[in-house]
Amino acid sequence: MKGENKMVTCSKLFEFLDKRRKKQHNKIRTKVDALKREEKKPVKKGWGSMVNTGYGGINKNPIDRVYDIAQQQKNLSHQKGGK
């Protein structure tokens, strides 16, 4: 009896999560379609372009590294026609 209750609860949870995931997916899809109709490029969220720091994972001076990465990101943004 207890095992059946857990199965029903789990299946309801999976259905709820699936429904919520599909709702979010459709929301994003309609937003992207609207942007494409206006001939705008949809914004992709993420970290942005990778930047070659030259450090190879070694953090000798983190302040210089952060400034250098920020400057390279700005340069990439200007090249792509951003701010």
At 63 the pLDDT is 61
Ordered per-residue pLDDT tens for the chain, 83 residues: 455 677 788 889 999 999 999 999 999 899 989 988 998 887 766 666 666 666 555 555 556 666 677 777 888 877 777 65
Same domain, 4 and 37: yes
Q: For every residue of the chain, which 3-state class applies, written as one string? A: CHHHHHHHHHHHHHHHHHHHHHHHHHHHHHHHHHHHHCCCCCCCCCCCCCCCCCCCCCCCCHHHHHHHHHHHHHHHHHHCCCC
At 46 the pLDDT is 65
Same domain, 17 and 34: yes
Same domain, 59 and 32: no
Same domain, 14 and 51: no
| Domain boundaries, position 55 | 46-83
What is the pTM (predicted TM-score) of this model?
0.44
Domain count across the chain = 2
Same domain, 67 and 31: no
Same domain, 2 and 37: yes
